[in-house]
């Protein structure tokens, strides 16, 4: 993960993943410049339109949530909260009270 964040061009990841991360990076930094060529490049790397739509949606939601949190003053939870949540999700999945799928 650190290598992807530090230098995406040389990170030890697949070309397929690199294509998606470059698409996402462009979306975050200059979404108005995304065009058909960017979509064609991502498709050529093996990403479907559905997968690209999902990536666009996730990035857009996180950008919204980050802006909302920053502007509203909502504070982050402590590290212990993330640890507890991670253990709960690892044991039971995302739906509370429902066992994780095998």
List pLDDT tens digits, range 6-20: 888 888 989 999 999
* pLDDT value, residue 97: 62
* pLDDT value, residue 100: 53
Q: What are phi and psi of 11, to 5 degrees?
A: -60, 145
Following DSSP, what letter does each residue of 34-55 receive, concatenated? --HHHHHHHHHTT--HHHHHHH
List pLDDT tens digits, range 49-76: 999 999 999 999 999 998 998 899 888 8
Q: Does residue 4 surpass a pLDDT of 70? A: yes
CA 10 to chain centre: 19
* pLDDT value, residue 101: 54
Q: Which domains does the chain have, with CATH numbers?
A: 2-92 (1.20.1290.10)
Q: Is pTM, for the whole model, over 0.75? A: no
CA angle, 3 as apex, 60 and 31 as ends, to 5°?
Answer: 25
42 in Cβ contact with 20 (< 8 Å): yes
* pLDDT value, residue 76: 80
């Amino acid at each position: 993960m650190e290598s992807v964040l530090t230098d995406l061009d040389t990170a030890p990841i697949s070309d397929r993943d690199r294509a998606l991360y470059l698409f996402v990076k462009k979306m975050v930094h200059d979404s108005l410049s995304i065009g058909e060529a960017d979509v064609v490049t991502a498709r050529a790397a093996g990403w479907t339109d559905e997968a690209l739509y999902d990536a666009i949606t996730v990035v857009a939601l996180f950008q919204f949530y980050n802006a909302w949190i920053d502007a509203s003053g909502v504070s982050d939870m402590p590290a212990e909260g993330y640890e507890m949540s991670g253990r709960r999700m690892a044991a039971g999945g995302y739906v509370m009270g429902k066992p994780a799928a095998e």
